A and B are shown apart, each in its own frame.
Chain A
């Protein structure tokens, strides 16, 4: 079985429109079931993104920081 395809959205250095907006835009154009990994240098995203993901009803797969960049994985469920 092959590894799951993950779309990377590199929003490091994004103040406007910002990481969550980049994630929302990507998920709008993505198939249901697809996984998106958001890269953000904004520490606020680590809190904002899970709040939105849960409110809308997608799935949070994980969030970890590597060298000042948060890698936030989300699966589109609807």
Chain B
């Protein structure tokens, strides 16, 4: 029976080094270790090009090679007859291999030595199982995991609920204990196009509102390239932490709550058609926690979530809402709220709360309440408000309001935003305000 490349993907995760046999122009054989043999598609693999080696010299002159890979646990050997086609030095394949190599290099203690120069793409002509009699390593059923995840997700008609349930469902389906749901903010702000953490699972601090720049860390690479990126081992390469955790005192920033030393990481784009809506990120303390099949299943899950996100955005706002019941009169020491217009950052009693569009929304609401006593607001009026730096298209207003409401609940419970209907919310205060614009 002809073996499919898909059936040996467990061998292509860098767990056990592969070897590559090539021939020089004069017929002299060469065998070298390959740190990474990457599954590209059903007919192609890519080998990492790190140094100008004899292997590379040989395949440029005589493109035929044989790669021997080993299945973890069973140690069954497979041999692939391959033909060198081309080298890619940028783009999704290169970026994925670069990220994955960082994990492989760190696992083997070679992170100071390994750096990807290119992804050498080979056509696979034949696959031979050398140890056909040996028992195969059982493979996990990722389709079943996905089905369980979707069963648990159920129907969602609210963005905040969708983000929370999307993560909780991962725990049920995949046994994932640490994950983030980040939404794309397509409106270039002061810090450029970025992703914002809308919900998290399994961290001491929620990190809601934490920002990840495009291309930054594993989440940013997955977003920029619109590819899943999976690293199976702890990497010391700072580039591939979930995101750089720079503490810049000049720029207040909510830290991502991620694990300090994850041994497995995966970031999957949330897409709908050609549109990128966010990134789902998960990590584990275990090595090789996410398999190729898990990656497939999570990509499907990411597209399902993308479709749900796109649908939610088309639902109309509620036309009216019951008027606010008389609330308690705020009392006690006034909350000192300071607003810095240059980055729309808001500090409450000298503690940083939020910045950007969400910061300017809060400042606008508090001023409106101070001026008129109003507590009920709707998304539509915010979209029309000239004081808010919302883009004309794809404003992500709902995302920003959820971020704001969650950040307030965590850091400043004296101010609350409660949803009162689709596209409607209510401001509640337990202390009086002292507003200062810097």
Q: Do these two chains interact?
A: no
